[in-house]
Structure 1
Amino acid sequence: MSAGLSVPALAQTIHSPGNKLTLSFQLSPSGEPTYQLHFGAKTVVNTSKLGLLLQNQPGLDQGFQVARIDSTVHDATWQPVWGEVKNIRNHYKELAVTLAQPAANGHRMVLRFRLFDDGVGFRYEVPQQPGLTYFVVQDEKTEFNLPANHKAFWIPGDYDSNEYAYTTSRLSEVNTTPIKAIEKKAAPTRIQTPLMLKSDDGLYVNIHEAALVNYSAMMLNVDTKTFGLTSQLVPDATGTGAKAYLQAPEHTPWRTIVVSNKAPEVLASKLILNLNEPSKVTDTGWIKPQKFVGVWWEMQVSKASWNYSDTTNIKLAGTEWNKLKPNGRHGATTANVKRYIDFAAAHHIPGVLVEGWNVGWEDWVGNWKEEVFDFVTPYPDFDVNELQRYAASKGVNIIMHHETSGSVTNYERRQDAAYRFMNEHGYTSVKTGYVGRIIPRGEHHDGQWMVNHYVRTAQKTADSHIMVDMHEPVRPTGLHRTYPNWLACEAARGNEFNAFSEGNLPEHETILPFTRLMGGPMDYTPGIFKLQGYAASAPQRQVHTTLAKQLALYVTMYSPLQMAADLPENYNEHLDAFRFIEDVPVDWDDTRIVAAEPGDYLTIARQAKGKNEWYVGSITDEKARTQTVKLDFLTPGTTYEATIYADGKGASWDKNPTAYQIRKQKVNSKTTLKLQLAAGGGAAVSIKPAGK
């Protein structure tokens, strides 16, 4: 229904469809828009201001009068192209408040709130109107004034990287200063979203954004004394503080607050997806979630190199690549890629990623260089045509790799030719990368210019029937609903950090689903089986999990694009455990969050797409735990066989990570499994109808 009130009130209150949440809107005496949010009797957000500040124009933040109030109720169900569940209900109450500024030529702005039972989304809309056609957002005055000193799981608000370990602290203790910067140093109290919070009175609150398009990403500035959070948009390269260049009619991304008194309900929320637009890709039959192996980890652990030669000062144009002296360590050779193709074919893995196949890797990073790669010229030892033929004969697809070295202008000039090359040679998927400082010089990875590039790339790859996996991008905001060919991205500290740094703490994978994964799937690259002694140059390094936990990540770290990241020879030593990676799907009809606590543990059960099969993943932090899993989601009256991949006797992430045991047992909907998780460990379970 819709109702336009003839005499708008200064304050409005709406309740979520199931009356779990209450949202209140009010203008302050000076005409500032404000809102409050409550979960039952508990305060989620105290009175908080809203508004936009513009360059060289009056701000859209005060002096407002309410011109119109509209309310609607929406309840519909839709099916994602791929995902964690088959059906998604989109049920909310909407409040749209049209505000007018009499003292600023009657400028108008609409505040649109959508209140769900598990949270709220709101955004700013600037209608087409006289005197406000082109405008530049200088700042956004969005506040989230929290009622108490919550426990927070946070990373620094770096404009160029999300690849940090999480800090768990009270809001009053937020301080990014001691943290080593990866790209641009964050201000001392500026942190990223998604931000996960837990109150002392039992509320779980997640703050993020949805549908980030034609705008810069939102960070949060923390007031460590009052516990207020204020938006901080990523600036552009001009040095004027400009955050977004817009033309009316236009709207901002949705600002999102997911809230529940149960941690599993936060993970089950589809609020962010529901706030995104439906798919812009009409024909989606070519989009295929998949697993893959690849020529990648051997470079991370210095067994091989991306570059063909050790010659430096390379120029893309004019270099006679076949005359360079090979270094003997190049990983992307025809013979080596065939080895990966053979392994993939033998184990029913559809894809093989190949990094370092194309010329230009000799001096690719650190030089802020424009002409780095052309994305179509292979090294002399990489036979494109032969590998196309060989992969096709084995029923395997080779996944293209486009590292830009941050030279995005170069990539955009060459994208059309690169995607034609892919179509001609049978590549259906591409992994893009944005390592280094962005060209055009001074733009940030998370600013409006790059946000628009990522969306353009999703659209251009869709036009060429190419699936895309982006690395080093802005963190996701649910746009995989709109562009379902955008299967995954990195935008966080992945498994690779175990190869070249102090690694990821055991709690890391229990935090990521509550933070980074709230906006969309991550290419985390799980499945490392050689957990110690893999880095010859740094023998002290190790992956901070057990082998069984690496298996469990395929269920707990949702992605439609999952890599079996280790080397074939390491898998060949544990083929009984690798069977789980072979079996586990990447697309699902149902998902049950069995147990969850951010920073501590997570247990998830998922039903395979179109099958009566279930898979369970259970992980823990540095503490050993017992996780109880009731199998009441199974079909009553059906007997299943459960194959349980668990930590072995004496297993622990630091002392004995590769100890595991595999056992089978008959189960049904009345069975309860007890999974023993070692320190830093996990368990993975496949459940199939008995006799199949």
Structure 2
Amino acid sequence: MKTFIVALVVLFLSFIGNSQELKSPNGELVLQFSLVSNGVPTYQLSYKNKPVIKSSKLGFELKDDKNSLLDDFIVSNIKTSTFDNTWQPVWGKQKDIRNHYNELAVTLTQKETNRNILIRFRLFNDGLGFRYEFPSQENFAYFVIKEEKTQFAMTGDHTAFWIPGDYDTQEYDYTESKLSEISQKFDGAVSENASQKQFSKTGVQTALMMKTSEGLYINLHEAALINYSCMHLNLNDENMIFESWLTPDVNGDKGYIQAPSNSPWRTIIVSDDARDILASNITLNLNEPCEIEDTSWIKPVKYIGVWWEMITGKSSWSYTNELAAIELGVTDYSKVKTNNTHAANNTKVKQYIDFASEHGFDAVLVEGWNQGWEDWFGKSKDYVFDFVSPYPDFDVEAIHNYAKSKGVKMIMHHETSGSTRNYERHLDKAYQFMKDNGYDAVKSGYVGDILPRGEHHYSQWIVNHYQYAIEKAAEYEIMVNAHEAVRPTGICRTYPNLIGNESARGTEFQAFGGSKTNHVTVLPFTRLIGGPMDYTPGIFEMDISKLNPNNNSHVNSTIANQLALYVTMYSPLQMAADLPENYKQFMDAFQFIKDVAIDWDESVYLEAEPGDYLTIARKEKSSNNWFVGNVNGDNSRTSNITLNFLEKGKKYTATIYADAKDAHYKTNPQAYTIKTKTVTYKTKLSQLSVPGGGYAISIIEKK
């Protein structure tokens, strides 16, 4: 590893009164910081001499304080530096990540109050990160944020891919529209969820993806969300200025700050090539290095699970239908009749273990194994689960021993029903129970309104809860896959035991009425900017009524598209989500899921246009094998790629899993072709992708 830090570098910094100019290492991005009239801090950003962010204000409105941090500032200190190093993630899209930026740190002093704040800017070749820092000082140790007033002034009426601003969920389909159309389309973009709270008809969530009329791609997000409220964006559609909008707590307060501390980074990724947005590592680079000394127990996982049959309504999480209410430790399940639909039973789980063992999967997830599911949802119930008491038909020890004999790990499921206080009360006992029974990973869930009542999924207190659970899990050497938690902001660099998140509209919504055809062409530009998603792909039976006659939902995807997701939807935690019996009908296509890697040395972005298509190639960790995935949106297109990422002088066998000519996500989703051919780095491929379709390729080196 090489690291270069040079202080007071003036080559990339110009001083002009109260204005400072900072250039990216390659000179293509230029930041200008200025104090304008009455000491108001502002910034602006340009790319290749084109404006990206117009002059935008910075600062805070404080609660119960006439002197907010908005104006009356002077520049009291300036420090500059450059940084360049390469680091290796525990798992990731590539083996080596370069962290190269020029930095400007501006200390501002408020004249009347003598308070100090520092704004730190880091300018990379592909974008900007900046944050507020609150130094230790006698006259400013504690304060409450009424609102962060960070602005992002757009240069025009850009095309945006957005979901409604919401304090409790990101599980929405993306809407593509002009910025000026957000307010008109807002109500239509809101769909039902177990917990939701919108705040404005022009409010949207990050990561926000935009494209200008000049062909610039702009992404707004945040990095290193620690001890702070999640940021949304509220648009003034008269002047096209976004302003930060933090998630409030039960009292309406946006954040409790004790100095010294800092805000998360606000990030702006920009390029004239959409592929650069996908390739950016700004979010990870703005997080702190790994805090876990020994990471040998953190391993990527490919798994199956007792899950999809409950999602579709074929089976149930609950053990009985006889109880309207239960009390853990009091209710005697041995005295009630099972409903015969409970999926987490010994016989069913062993069948999944057998399938995992036969086909080389690492682990099996089981949901609904523990007592309490009869009255878990919507009851505002605090003590709903204890995370250690199994139902009578699930023998934890016997299942563990059976899985161990088959070389398969088990993944625990902890649904909290939004009761964060109850989960923290049980965490140590629950994690120890996992270790005692051979569970190395947990899928946690936060469905429904948050308890304590009035809190939101994305407020400061609850963000701190998620972080507490991750750090506590690290003490027990447990990997965490958090569902319904706050969307990720790169914290997996610091705590790589956070091996997965949901925090977006995943595959389960295909069984709740379906998702838009192009949904998976947008997610890599939005949700995945912050970190990997447990999207749960691999559905082969698209007609949900064949699993549950009472559910007429349809999975809006072809089988080839589902295969491609294992490459395009990057995650070190990948699930084959369908039922084993559905895979047995298409074992030739299932072979790709068995073969595809989940950890990578290199990623190459071949084609990309948000909302339309993307094609990605990835090189398997410690191997010379490659895998390619293409997902397509609403319109048929021909994808043309060159395999020039392959090693020169070597030959490979390419197995191409593609849409048949008559395939269609709605009318003929299970039509696919499989062909093999010898390829080299000179090979060019031309491949049809139908609506909602795509293709997947395994490229194996010939020995």
Is this contact kept in 1: 2:81–2:103, CA < 8 A? yes
The CA distance in 1 between the partners of 2:488 and 2:168, in whole Å, is 14
Find the residue that maps to 1:69 and give its secondary structure.
strand
Give the Cα–Cα distance (whole angstroms) in 1 for the partners of residues 578 and 602 of structure 2: 29
Question: Are 2:270 and 1:262 equivalent residues in the alignment?
Answer: no
Q: Distance in 2 between matches of 1:584 and 1:246?
A: 45
The answer on whether the counterparts of 2:309 and 2:547 sit within 8 Å (CA) in structure 1 is no
Deviation, 1:537, is: 4.0
Partner of 1:278: 289
What is the match of residue 222 of structure 1?
235
Q: How does 1:33-44 map to 2 (within 5 A)?
A: 33-44=41-52
Alignment match, 1:435 = 447
The aligned residue for residue 2 of structure 1 is 7
Q: Give the superposition deviation at 1:324.
A: 1.8
User: In the aligned structure 1, how far is the partner of 2:166 from the partner of 2:274?
Assistant: 27
The answer for the alignment partner of 1:477 in structure 2 is 489
Aligned with residue 187 of structure 2, among 152, 157, 177: 177
1:58-108 deviation line (CA, Å, top 9, x unaligned): 21111000000100000100000000000000000000000001201x100
1 CA distance for matches of 2:26 and 2:16?
Answer: 25
Question: How far is 1:534 from its partner?
Answer: 3.7
Query: Contact 2:312/2:551 (CA < 8 Å) preserved in 1?
Result: no
Secondary structure, counterpart of 2:491 in structure 1:
coil
CA distance in structure 2 between the aligned counterparts of 1:470 and 1:284, rounded to whole angstroms: 19
Q: Which runs of 4+ in 1 moved over 4 A?
A: none
The structure 2 residue matched to 1:620, chosen from 626, 629, 632, is 632
1:302 aligned to 313, 334, 348, which one? 313
1:389 aligns with 2:401: yes
Pair 1:95-2:108 in alignment = no
Question: Would you say the 8 A contact 1:220–1:230 is kept in 2?
Answer: yes
The 1-side partners of 2:152 and 2:380 are apart by 38
Distance in 1, matches of 2:9 and 2:540, equals 61
Q: Is 1:512 matched up with 2:520?
A: no
Q: Distance in 2 between matches of 1:484 and 1:490?
A: 16
Tell me whether 1:110 sits opposite 2:118 in the alignment: yes
Q: How far is the alpha carbon of 1:26 from its aligned partner?
A: 0.2
What's the CA shift string for 1:134-163, capped at 9, x where partnerless?
Answer: 111111010000010000000001100000
Q: 2:219 aligns with which of 182, 188, 206?
A: 206
2:696 pairs with 665, 679, 684, which one? Answer: 684
2: CA distance, partners of 1:31 / 1:323 = 73
- Residues in 1 aligned to 2:59 and 2:238: alpha-carbon distance in whole angstroms: 23
Counterparts of 2:383 and 2:123 in 1: how far apart (Å)? 48
Hey, what's the Cα distance between the residues in 1 that align with 2:8 and 2:69?
A: 25
RMSD of aligned Cα (Å): 1.3
Contact 1:123 1:255 in 2 (8 A): yes
SS of the aligned residue for 1:412 comes to helix
Greater shift in the superposed pair: 53-62 or 474-483: 53-62
What SS is found at the alignment partner of 1:513?
helix
CA distance in 2, matches of 1:65, 1:495: 51
Q: Is the 8 A contact 1:155 1:166 kept in 2?
A: yes
Partners of 1:53 and 1:139 within 8 A in 2: yes
Q: Does the CA-based 8 Å contact 2:313-2:551 persist in structure 1?
A: no
Gaps of 5+ in 2: 1-5
Task: Tell whether the 8 Å contact from 1:9 to 1:66 is kept in structure 2 after alignment.
Answer: no
Counterparts in 2 of 1:368 and 1:539: CA distance versus 1, 3 Å:
closer
2:77 paired residue number: 68
* Distance in 2, Cα, partners of 1:9 & 1:430: 55
> 1:25 and 1:450 mapped to 2: Cα distance?
34
Deviation per residue, 1:154-213 (Å, 9 max, x gap): 000110000000000000000223323531134211110000000000100000000000
Residues in 2 aligned to 1:406 and 1:206: alpha-carbon distance in whole angstroms: 30
Structure 1 length normalisation: TM-score? 0.98
> Partner of 2:687: helix, strand, or coil?
strand
Corresponding residue number in structure 2 for 1:232: 245
Mapping for residues 187-206 of structure 1, pairs under 5 Å: 187-206=200-219
| Aligned counterpart for 1:162 among listed residues 170, 191, 194 | 170
* Residue 4 of structure 1, CA deviation: 9.8
**Counterpart code for 1:73:** T
1:399 aligned to 2:408? Answer: no
Q: Secondary structure at the match of 2:249?
A: coil
Report the secondary structure of 1:174's partner residue: helix
Letter matched to residue 372 of structure 1: V
Counterpart-to-counterpart distance in 2, 1:211 and 1:225: 31
CA contact (8 A) 2:9 2:81 kept: no
Alpha-carbon distance between aligned partners in 2 of 1:67 and 1:424, rounded to the nearest angstrom: 57
Report if the CA contact (8 A) 1:67-1:99 is conserved. Answer: yes
The correspondence for 2:375, drawn from 344, 357, 363, is 363
Q: What is the deviation of 1:444?
A: 0.5
**How far apart in 2 are the matches of 1:101 and 1:382?**
63
Deviation of residue 3 (structure 1)? Answer: 2.7
2:302 aligned residue (291, 306, 319): 291
Cα separation, 1, equivalents of 2:37 and 2:164: 36
The one-letter code sitting in structure 1 at the alignment partner of 2:58 is L
Alignment of 1:436-455 (within 5 A): 436-455=448-467
Normalising by structure 2, report the TM-score. 0.96
Kindly state the Cα deviation for residue 686 of structure 1 after the two structures are TM-superposed: 0.2
| CA deviation profile, 1:296-315 (whole Å, cap 9, x unmatched) | 00001111100001121112
Post-superposition Cα deviations, 1:275-305, rounded to whole Å, max 9, x if no partner, equal 0000111100000101100000000111110
Is 1:23 the counterpart of 2:31 in the alignment? yes
Comparing 412-421 and 531-540, the one that deviates more: 531-540
1:454-504: CA deviations, max 9, x gaps? 111111111100000000011110000010000110000001101122x11
Aligned equivalents of 2:291 and 2:334: distance in 1? 43
Paired position in structure 2 for 1:606: 618
Once the two structures are TM-superposed, the CA of residue 535 in structure 1 deviates from its matched residue by 4.7
- Matching of residue 412 in structure 1 with residue 424 in structure 2: yes
Confirm or deny that 1:138 pairs with 2:146. Answer: yes
The Cα shift of 1:233 comes to 0.2
1: CA distance between counterparts of 2:9 and 2:590?
A: 60
2:475 paired with 1:466: no
| Structure 1 runs not aligned, ≥5 long | none
- Tell me the CA shift for residue 382 of structure 1: 0.1
Which amino acid is 1:146 matched to? M
Task: Kindly indicate whether the alpha-carbon contact (under 8 Å) linking 1:4 and 1:69 is maintained by their aligned counterparts in 2.
Answer: no
Task: Find the aligned partners of 2:133 and 2:176 in 1 and give their Cα distance.
Answer: 35
The DSSP-based 3-state class of the residue aligned with 2:443 is strand
Q: C-alpha distance in 2, partners of 1:303/1:181?
A: 22
Residue correspondences, number? 687
Contact persistence 1:157–1:219 (CA under 8 A): yes
Q: Is residue 78 from structure 1 mapped to residue 90 from structure 2 by the alignment?
A: no
Per the TM alignment, residue 661 of structure 1 is displaced from its structure 2 partner at its CA by 0.9
